[in-house]
Structure 1
């Protein structure tokens, strides 16, 4: 028998999964004492049950210790297995010691989660130098899901005559698949990142058409790449582009800055709660739960 728990601010996705799969929704209390220490209480019976925790891991530093306490508490009270549904998996861009002394946090965070959970479900983790999550995780059951089909469906139904634009060479395989499923043409930009807020963009030779550029990327945080590329495309005579992302990591300031650069619309999957959420990935997760 299974039971599902929603980490705070993950209730919408957890309730949707609970309702559609007829899995009871458990009750937990996660709060703070006046001195800032965490308080965790499980108000549902978990003995000999397969437990599912829904907790997307944006701002992971604020969640990790409480997630540790919750998982340990569930074990203490007899949970048989614990599956973590983390639609967004953090630290994956920190997959290399770029400068001497830097922490390879992708590896270390994977080790942290591997101690706590029996299985993991996530969506489009940022895989670059790490090609498969099993390279850094010791969790046996991992479902790495992809939002390409959902994104392609949204583009197909909402953008007429789209030109899919990839942010860099790394994105080509991903962008090509989205374009194929959306029946759209595509191009790839060349990007050199000098710092978080300093990016050089080179576009391939383009003939201006009436196509609508649609940037597709797995993560948008500062939006620097999108802003730089948007200005170049508009200067060439293209229509205002649309930005589509899996994980909306940008804050309100970055969101407004991207829009003010000339972007017509920003759309995201609901892996992280944001006003731009228009693409629902809950079906992907529900299909994967059966294997866990």
Structure 2
């Protein structure tokens, strides 16, 4: 079956890379806003009988999700076969439990919406906490692509004598994987909480870091306060300026400037969300996951 790929606004560069790696047809989309803010969508090419991949880079999900769902519905009405979603950054994973009476568990709600609109999902390193796997949230086949191999390759090529540093104990397993693939040591910082708002970062054994370039790795760089604090702490201990690596470049407000002011040697991210810091390409692994989803569904006859 012919494979076509279509980009939501803002995901054009990622879509172009994936189209080449998947040897897929690019399908045009006309999109604009009416004066009252409602979205207008028009699929510009014939998708009858095609499997279609929708690519959405959801930096501001509330503005983009309605159009994403409307597009999936339109593609089916226009005769598309299977309709899959590539969302390299998967939003609405934060609220994964009800901590106070009446709270909406938005990860489950978002999972229901996406599962009702698409046949499969591919994302990169979703922010899983109490959920062990995406299958606990999504009713469709959902693949989580690891960024660790691409990050490790970047570290190996660009950083002399690296040591991978995680921001907290929760990151240990992931940081260990990056370090193993990069062929270097790793360690993690400890967070000590003093009340609701004050956090102290505690450095590990400094002897293990001497003579190495620390590479701070985190899955999401949002406010960057924790990572900036780690950069300052490492610098104050006399270590080389740290490289900062984030999978998802959310970069709220002045986060990038905050890291630079803290003394970061460099700040890079994977291209799951478009940002000037994008230096690590994960679209090859995404393309492999898309192929695997299509092959699995073909074998099952879905």
SS at match of 1:25: strand
2-structure distance, mates of 1:123, 1:209: 33
2-structure distance, mates of 1:37, 1:120: 26
Displacement of 1:237 in angstroms is: 0.9
The equivalent of 2:300 in structure 1 is: none
The equivalent of 1:264 in structure 2 is: 265
- Give unmatched runs, 5+ long, in structure 2: 295-302
1-structure distance, mates of 2:288, 2:182: 22
1-structure distance, mates of 2:139, 2:195: 32
Runs of 4+ in structure 1 deviating by more than 4 angstroms, as ranges, are 192-198
Kept in 1: contact 2:10–2:57 (CA 8 A): no
- Cα separation, partners in 2 of 1:91 and 1:191, compared to 1, 3 Å: farther
Task: List aligned pairs for 1:14-93, cutoff 5 A.
Answer: 14-93=15-94
- Cα separation, partners in 2 of 1:194 and 1:69, compared to 1, 3 Å: farther
What whole-Å deviation, never above 9, does each CA across 1:125-171 have from its counterpart, x for those lacking one?
011110100001011x2221101011001001110111110111111
State the TM-score, normalized to the length of structure 2. Answer: 0.92
- Give unmatched runs, 5+ long, in structure 1: none
SS at match of 1:87: coil
Kept in 2: contact 1:198–1:224 (CA 8 A): no
1-structure distance, mates of 2:200, 2:247: 23
Identify the range of structure 1 (249-258 vs 93-102) with the bigger mean alpha-carbon deviation.
93-102
The equivalent of 1:278 in structure 2 is: 279
Task: List aligned pairs for 1:180-219, cutoff 5 A.
Answer: 180-192=180-192, 198-207=198-207, 209-219=210-220
RMSD: 1.7
2-structure distance, mates of 1:7, 1:132: 26
1-structure distance, mates of 2:142, 2:98: 25
SS at match of 1:103: coil
2-structure distance, mates of 1:196, 1:97: 19
Displacement of 1:101 in angstroms is: 3.1
Kept in 2: contact 1:5–1:52 (CA 8 A): yes
Q: How many residues align?
A: 291
What whole-Å deviation, never above 9, does each CA across 1:83-135 have from its counterpart, x for those lacking one?
10000001212212233333221111111111100011111001111010000
